[in-house]
Amino acid sequence: MPANDAAPSLEDLDPAIAGLLVQLHAAAREVPPVPWSLARLSKRADLAMSSLRRALAALEEAGLVEVSDDGQGRAMAVLTAQGSEFCAMIFRASGR
């Protein structure tokens, strides 16, 4: 993710990453906020599971997303606090 002082926009990001962040941000805004399954994220972001996993790995490495198991064999993903701040910044810069 960009590390300079200029606020990045969605257009600055890889389309898979941008689409995934849009969906993770939507999940975080649900009341109550709950992690979404990778299957749901894949469908909502229109990403193949392999592309989704690559994008999640990049976001997890950047500290923006946490991926976990729900205890029943399903992988779930949620924005971290840093990820929520990053999304707020890019969506504000993008006018969303």
Q: Is residue 81 in a domain?
A: yes
Q: Which comes out higher in pLDDT, residue 71 or 66?
A: 66
Q: Is residue 71 in a domain?
A: yes
Q: Is residue 44 in a domain?
A: yes
What is the average pLDDT score of the chain? 87
Q: Is residue 1 in a domain?
A: no
**Burial degree of 55 (CB within 10 A; 0-12, 13-18, 19+):** buried
Cis peptide before 35 (omega within 30 of 0): no
pLDDT at 90 over 70: yes
Q: Is residue 60 in a domain?
A: yes
Q: Is residue 4 in a domain?
A: no
How many domains does one find in the chain?
1
Percent of the chain clearing pLDDT 90 (strictly above): 64
Q: Is residue 37 in a domain?
A: yes
List the CATH number of the domain containing 52.
Answer: 1.10.10.10
Q: Return the amino acid letter for 33.
A: P
CA distance 67 to 93: 26
Q: Is residue 39 in a domain?
A: yes
Domain of 67 in residue numbering reads as: 10-93
Return the pLDDT at 2.
Answer: 46
